[in-house]
Structures are given as structure tokens and as C-alpha cells.
Structure 1
Amino acid sequence: MTTPPIRIGRYRWTICALLFFATTVNYLDRQVLSLLHPMLEDEFGWSYTDYSNILAAFQLVYALSMLFAGRIVDRLGTKWGFAVSIVLWSVAAMLHALAIPVGEAGVAVLGIFGITGVSVSVVGFVIARALLGFGESGNFPAAIKATAEYFPKKERSFATGIFNSGTNVGAILAPLTVPWLALNWGWQSTFLIIGAVGFLWLGFWFTLYEKPARQRRLSAAERAYIQSDEQAMEVPADQEEVQAERVPWIRLLGYRQTWAFALGKFLTDGIWWFFLFWLPAYLKAQYGMEGTTIMLPLVVLYSMTMFGSIGGGWFPVYFMRKGYAPYDGRMRAMLVIALFPLVVLAAQPLGHISYWIPVVLIGIGASAHQAWSANIFTTVSDMFPNFTVGSVTGIGGMAGGMGGVVVSKLGGAVFDHYDALGKLETGYTIMFSICAVAYLVAWVVMKSLVPRMKLVRLSNRRSTS
């Protein structure tokens, strides 16, 4: 008589659902401005450079804050680190509604230091976006840490792909709601309504989340399953915070694994943000589309990215089942994924036929980014012990944010330059070409730094990278 299999339990997927909804809110909040940009551009007379400066304020503060957010999450723990983050970014999202009075106060302060001639609206939105970047920086370090806590390695990229697909859902919900809210309630009310959504999530988070060691809803079988492949790298739960405090950033920067993750993020995060923040402006400039007319193409485009996020999370399992170590299988999958954005090279040459051609091609590129993102995040928990995952993710997030600053500033300068020449389409051709090849460049850099799987063991004082 055969013994029936032990039921493991599925509570870990409840935690994954919480991470998914938090990430959805995160991207819903950051997407509002790009959808309102055509309206605000007309109202305040912004140039492409003005808009790029507002975007860069978010990305720069987000980048710098990611470094500290990861460390704070490691020290506060996932539960409180995530809660503090979502409160801060929800308040900042709502503050956009007061951008003009905030800008007036900001201009008055700048005047004290002899800085004059700056736009009130630009200053107000720069301040609001900077605060949003500060708050939102905690989302991914906390979510990656929670994934490392609740999932064994073989499930982490799939779980990451699922919660990371919240970025796509947020990007889909935004064009479905923001233009309608702005049309019927005004842009100020749109920021207030969307920003308030994060507070709803907090109740579920405090009710349902606890560390696995103290989670009463976990069965003993599921807890053992979660911890099944961690004994070689983990420390006891009561020592985790102490260990985190003993690993300084400078030591983490001594590992090639850290640099592989950071440079991979630097070279590719800005591409996703370009797709996220500049596409409404692209549709307006190239096809005269704005307001509710951009809803359908953006919904179609961001719906495509759902397949990349979830499918990309599953893809490395194919190689792991063939005997590859987690990192090695992931890198093979990422090489295939890096080929797909090359189709974006055809977006401008074929765009004269129909706006649907660049929408679909960019959708493929954006979908590939989400597949890439699900895997690059998981390389951290593949090679680092859990008590440093938040810190390493923060370092990579900072690098990715700085890459976003570079892409946004470059885009603003390129678009203003070619717009003045009457050749704005050339500017988009240049930027789309950068988007197309960035992932292959990033893969080569990462593979060169870490050719094959190698665990980071921090129990020794010296680097073993």
C-alpha cells in the first residue's frame, strides 16, 4: 500500500498575491504623470527637457533611496519596511495634486539663494516626484526579500514573475482610469484618488503577513518545504538582523555577483522607464493621440507585458530541469530573452503604415523587459544569503535608477534637439535603437563578471566571489 503524498500547503502564494497588489499600486501611482503629461504640457507649456527634468527627479531620488531602502528593509524587517514604504509613496502621490502651491513655496526658497526664473509648475512636480521616488524605493527590496523568505529557490523566479507582473497590471489600469478621471474630475483629483489606493493595501498586509518562522497560517510541511534548500546559506531567524548589520555595503561591493546585478540593472531599467514614461508623449507627437484616445493602444501594449513577466519567470525552470544550477539556467534564459527587444528597431521604419505596428513591436520589447526583470531580480537570492538580499537589491536598484536618469535626460535632450530641426521622428529612432540593444549588452557584461553559478558565503571574513 503506497503512502499518500504529504500536502505541502499553498499559503506562500497568498504572500505572493500581496506582493503583486503592492507592485500594482506602485506602478499605478508612478504612471499617472505620464498619462497626464499631454494635458499638463499644454496647460503649463513644458518643453521635452522640462518633462525629462521632472522624470529625472523621481529617478534620481529613487536610485539613491534604493540603496538605503534595501538596508532599511533588512534592518526593520519585511513587514514594517514594506508598510513604511507604501505610506510614504501614497502620501507623495497625493501631493502631486498640490504641485502648484508646493512649487510656489519651492520657488520662494530658491529665490532666497538667488535662483530665479524657474517654472513654478516644474519645481512643484519635481518636489512631488522626488518624494514619490523616495517612498517607492522600498517596494522591490521588500518584495524580493519576502520572496526569498517564503519560496525555495526553484520557485523564486516564478513567484517574482507573478508579483512583478503587478507592474504591468498597474500600467494597464492607469490608462483605463487616469484619462477618464482627469476628464471628469480634473488632474488634481486624479492624483488624490489614485494615491489613496495604497492605504487600502495596508490592512491586508498587517493581517496576512508574518515571517515564516512566526507565521501561524503556514503548515509545518510548507514551512519545511520553503526552507528545504536554505540550510547551507541561512542563519537562524533570531540572528538575521544582527547579521545584516554586520555586512557593510563596501563589503558587498567586493563581490562580482553584486556588480553583475547592479550593471545589469543600470543598463536595462531605464529602458522600461522610457517605455513607461515616454509612450504617451510618443503617441501624441507621432500620431496626435491624447486623452482617452490613447487608452486602447496602451492597454494592449501593457497587456502584452503580462506574458513576458509570468512566462519569463517560468522559463529558467526548463533549464534547471536539465540539471543547470539556478543562476546558470537563469542566464541561459536571459540570453534568449535579450534577443526579443531587437524587434523595436523596426518600430520607426514601419510606423508610417499604422500606429499599431510600433505599439505591438514596443509591446514585445516591453514584454521582454519584464521577463528579464523577473530573472535578474532572482539572481540575487540565487547567490546571496537572505539576510543581505534587501541590501544587494537596493544597490542594484540604485544602479537601475541612475540608468533611468541617464535615459530620461538623454531622451529630453534628443527630442528637443530634433524637434527644433523638425525631425522629431529621428529622435525616436535613436532612442528606440538604444532600447533594442541594451539587453544583449547587459547580458554580456553580467556573464563576463559571473561566468557560472557561485554562492556568496559571508560567514568568512574574506571574499569568496
Structure 2
Amino acid sequence: MNQSTNTKSTNVRWSICVLLFFATTINYLDRQVLSLTWKDYLQPEFHWDNTDYGNITALFSIFYAVSMMFAGKFIDWMDTKKGFLWAIFIWSIGAVLHAFCGIATSGILTGNWFVGFEGAKESIATVNNVSLVISTSVTLFIFARLVLAIGEAGNFPAAIKTTAEYFPKKDRAFATSIFNAGATVGALAAPVSIPFIAKAYGWEMAFIIIGALGFVWMGFWIFYYKKPHQNRKVNQCELDYIQQDHDDQAVNENGEAMGKKFTFRECFKYRQTWAFAFGKFMTDGVWWFYLFWTPAYLSSVYGMDSTESALPLFVLYIITLLAIIGGWLPKYFVDKLGLDPYAGRMRAMLIFAFFPLLALLAQPGGNISYWIPVLIIGVAGAAHQAWSANIFSTVGDMFPKRAIATVTGIGGMAGGIGSFLINKGSGVLFDFSHKNWTTVDGVPLLQKYPQFNTERIPDDFFANLKTSGAVISDGINTGYMIIFSICAVAYLVAWFVMKGLVPKYKVIKD
């Protein structure tokens, strides 16, 4: 019961939005630690190649996809407060687990379990079977990513459900774009913090320190979050504003949505679900590719280590903050042009879908300066985040609150499958192009060194070749051009299919 009856509306909903923003920031910081440490620290220690890293990130995506399918139902069942707490607790545990994969690898392969981080490195270095080190360490990191994925899958269903609780439909895209900006800020903070933590204290401490942030957030959520009608800081004026379009939201005395529950099978009967899922399938993988592979891109193509790439990555993610327009533009179309929420959102999404086409120029532009692909990826990332804020909001536009987390989970699963395909495919493509399309002094690598048809290329092979004065044209550049081209057209394909499935605004009542 709200005790305050002030005529001036309170703004508690924006404080809740800030909490969602920080949860999303932590979410993206946790998943970025691996991408910012593997080239400089994990690859030398565990002898990984692009395929190994691609397998880890791809499986994370598929774990995330499957978890998203159930996370939505879990959040609907547990409700927002408890569901969010469980989600961030699990993913924080998973984030910290990564730090102990080296010790576990040492214990499994050498029997030296009770060693510190440095002792684990020394033990692993004594193992002569490189393939065994690779397979063991990759398996352990995959397990840690599994735990991380299970927890992180709950973030967006819980955040979208919270947004639906605290904001009317016309404001949800703007609120979503604000908390979704946490993804950008997390990605922005990562390159200027994680590499330097890893350099000063070891890669293990980077996982531990960043992972611990989730436990801090839990304390704020426990003491601050309540449903709007139960929150004493929300006065009646703000509550009326929040509930202005609750035409589908009859609630019981506890403020819980009444009416039938939506099962997975029932959700799949609606074209709106398929439109949302297809849009996520086509575009989520693009963002995850940029997130997971841009540090490796700067390392492989331009020879930067993680500290050298900190400034370019920082600038890249600063640009993605332009995504805040993603929440304002559909609101403008609705308020000023009189469009319905879905029409306004789809018009904005069509505009955003054209910007990723710039990725077609990323690799050619890199021949002039690495800043050109950095700036282009930043613009493409901003377009994605603007698109993402709106595609999430289409669920709240057309489904009742009791179905939002479930449908969001279905879309997240589809997005995770798309991410699995692009991450797995990228790792395989980059290793294939690196080996099969590279030339040394104008001669194809495998023709000049036929032993690599069956053998793994040593970690320091290309560095030694460059030291000897050989002229190398790396085929991995072509591999990146192929992936950039796929990323460029994905949004337009998604938009036209979504528009075909749901041409007009249609609210689902039951």
C-alpha cells in the first residue's frame, strides 16, 4: 500500500532502472574477462588456437540459449526479486570459477592440486602432451562457462519483466535502452580494467575481482526492490502513471498477474513469438561476435596485446553509447507522429538496420588505419544496441506481463543458437583461413610447409618467421571479411521477416 499521496510524482522507477543498468554492466563485464585475457595469457599457458577459443565461446552461447528457454519460466515462477537474486548469484559463482581452471588442470594432469596460481602454471609447463593440456583446460573452462551461462540467462528476462512492472508501454523502450546501455558500459569498462588487473595481479584475479561485483549488487537489490504497489517510496501519482495502460494486467491482492499462465507450447502458437525469436536469432550473434572477437581481431590482424588494444576498444564502446537514441526514436514516432507502439518501434528498427552495412567497409578500411574498423564496429554496435532495446520492447507491447519473461526466454534461446553458430563458425573459419589462405614470401603456407597439413602450427611460428624477415600475407584477414559481411546484412534480413510475420500491431489478451 502506498502511503504517499503527494501530487508531484515520485521517480522511483528510474532508480530501479539504474539497478537494472548496473546488473547488466556486471553481466557484460563477467563475460568479457575471457575475451580480454585469452590471447595474452590463456593461449600461451594452455596452447589454445582460434578453434579452441571458438568452441568455448560457442558452447557458452548454446548453454546460454538453452538456459534462456528456462530462465524466462523460472523468473515468471520465482517472480522478479528472488529470480534476479538467484540469477546473479549463480553467474557470479561461474565467473569466479574460471580463475581456478589452471589449478584444476594442474591437479588433473600432474596430481598437484594444492598449488597457487603460479604453481599451477609451473606444473602445467612440465606436461609434455600439449593436446592433453588443451583438451583438459578447454573442458574446465567450458564447465565454468556453463555455470556463468545458466546465471546470466536470467538477467534479461528479469530485467524486461521489471521494466514491464515499473514502466508504461510508451516508456519501456527508453527504459530498456537505459538498462541495456549497461551492456555497452560493461564492454567499455572491460578493456580499461581487465587487462591491467591481469597484468598486475594475474589473469586469475581478473576473474575473481570482476566476478565479486555481482555479490555487491545483490545487497542493493535485496534492500531496495519491491513491486510498485508495495513500494512505500512510490506515491499514488507515480503508481497511476506506471499503471496507465494495464488493460491486460488484472492483479490479485499481492500484485501478481492473474489469468492463465502461458506455456511454451501456447507461446509458440503466436506469430509474435516467432517474429521476436527470428529477430534475435539473426542479430544476437552479431553483437556477441563483436564482443568476443574484436580483441582477438586487433591482436591477429594488427598485432596488439590486450593493453595496447585498450584505447581502441574504449573508443569503440564509447561510440556504442549512441544506442540511447534507440529508446528515444520510437517514443518520438509514437508521441509526435501518432503511430502505435509496434509501428513506431519497427520504423525505428528499420533505420537502425541500415547502419550495420558499414561493416562491409571495415576490413578494406583497415588497410588505411586500424581506427577505421574500430569506428565502424562502434557504429554497428550502437545500431545493434538500439535495435536490441526495441526488439525486447516488442514483447511487452504485445504480450501480457505474465508471458513476458517466458517469451523473452524463447527469443533469448533463439539468439543464443545464432550466437553459437557465428562463434563456432568464426573459430573454425579463422583457423582454416590462417592455415590455408596465408602466403609466406608469395608461396602458400601449406605448400611451403607441408607438415602443417597434419600438424598444429606452433604458437611462436609466425613470430619467428617475421623475425627472420619473411613477408607474410595472413589469410585470416579474408576470414574476418566474410564474417563482417554476414554481420552487415543480418539486421535487414531480420527486419523484413519480422515485418512479414507481424505486419500490424496486435495485442495478445489470453
Matched residue type, 2:191: P
1:209-220 map, 5 Å:
209-220=225-236
Q: What is the distance in 2 between the residues matched to 1:211 and 1:43?
A: 48
- TM-aligned CA distance change 1:150 to 1:293, over 3 Å: same
- TM-aligned CA distance change 1:119 to 1:104, over 3 Å: farther
Give aligned-pair identity as a percent.
Answer: 53
1:291 Cα deviation from its structure 2 partner: 2.3
- TM-aligned CA distance change 1:281 to 1:237, over 3 Å: farther
Matched residue type, 2:201: W
1:125-144 map, 5 Å:
125-144=141-160
More off after superposition, 219-228 vs 315-324: 315-324
Match of 1:365 among 358, 361, 380: 380
Q: Deviations over 1:209-251 (max 9, x none)?
A: 0011211110011001100011x21121448767587321100
Structure 2 residue matching 1:207: 3-state secondary structure:
helix
Structure 2 residue matching 1:72: 3-state secondary structure:
helix
Q: What residue is the counterpart of 1:356 in the other structure? A: 371
- TM-aligned CA distance change 1:193 to 1:449, over 3 Å: same
Structure 1 residue matching 2:369: 3-state secondary structure:
coil
1:105 Cα deviation from its structure 2 partner: 7.7
1:61-210 map, 5 Å:
61-103=63-105, 119-210=135-226
- 8 A contact 2:251–2:258 mirrored in 1: no
Match of 2:48 among 43, 46, 68: 46
Q: What is the distance in 2 between the residues matched to 1:236 and 1:454?
A: 22
Structure number with bigger Rg:
2
- 8 A contact 1:244–1:388 mirrored in 2: no
Structure 2's unaligned 5+ residue stretches are: 1-5, 111-130, 439-474
1:43 Cα deviation from its structure 2 partner: 2.1
- TM-aligned CA distance change 1:412 to 1:31, over 3 Å: same
1:390 Cα deviation from its structure 2 partner: 0.6
1:100 Cα deviation from its structure 2 partner: 2.8
Q: What is the distance in 2 between the residues matched to 1:213 and 1:105?
A: 53
Q: What residue is the counterpart of 2:459 in the other structure? A: none
Q: Deviations over 1:389-415 (max 9, x none)?
A: 111100000110111001001101111
- Structure 1 runs of 4+ off > 2 angstroms? 100-108, 237-246
Matched residue type, 1:435: C
1:263 Cα deviation from its structure 2 partner: 0.6
- 8 A contact 1:28–1:194 mirrored in 2: yes
- 8 A contact 2:285–2:419 mirrored in 1: yes
Matched residue type, 1:375: N
1:323 Cα deviation from its structure 2 partner: 1.0
- 8 A contact 2:268–2:274 mirrored in 1: yes
Q: What is the distance in 2 between the residues matched to 1:244 and 1:90?
A: 35
- TM-aligned CA distance change 1:221 to 1:298, over 3 Å: same
Matched residue type, 2:347: R
Match of 1:431 among 474, 480, 483: 483
Q: What residue is the counterpart of 2:345 in the other structure? A: 330
Q: What is the distance in 2 between the residues matched to 1:281 and 1:389?
A: 36
Q: What is the distance in 2 between the residues matched to 1:345 and 1:9?
A: 47
Q: What is the distance in 1 between the residues matched to 2:261 and 2:175?
A: 29
Q: What is the distance in 2 between the residues matched to 1:239 and 1:328?
A: 34
Output the aligned Cα RMSD: 1.7
Matched residue type, 1:140: F
- 8 A contact 1:261–1:376 mirrored in 2: yes
Q: How many residues align?
A: 445
Q: What is the distance in 2 between the residues matched to 1:228 and 1:104?
A: 59
Q: Deviations over 1:12-34 (max 9, x none)?
A: 00000000000000000000000
Q: What residue is the counterpart of 2:329 in the other structure? A: 315
More off after superposition, 336-345 vs 38-47: 38-47
Q: What is the distance in 1 between the residues matched to 2:192 and 2:306?
A: 11
Q: What is the distance in 2 between the residues matched to 1:6 and 1:330?
A: 32
Q: What residue is the counterpart of 1:25 in the other structure? A: 26
Matched residue type, 2:139: V
Q: What residue is the counterpart of 2:434 in the other structure? A: 419
Q: What is the distance in 2 between the residues matched to 1:244 and 1:16?
A: 27
Q: What residue is the counterpart of 2:455 in the other structure? A: none
1:254 Cα deviation from its structure 2 partner: 0.3
1:259-298 map, 5 Å:
259-298=274-313
- 8 A contact 2:50–2:430 mirrored in 1: yes
Structure 2 residue matching 1:165: 3-state secondary structure:
helix
Q: What residue is the counterpart of 2:449 in the other structure? A: none
Matched residue type, 1:37: W
Q: Deviations over 1:158-212 (max 9, x none)?
A: 0000000000110011111111101110011111111001111111111110011
1:379 matches 2:379 = no
- 8 A contact 1:240–1:387 mirrored in 2: no
Q: What is the distance in 2 between the residues matched to 1:345 and 1:238?
A: 55
Q: What is the distance in 2 between the residues matched to 1:44 and 1:457?
A: 54
Matched residue type, 1:33: L
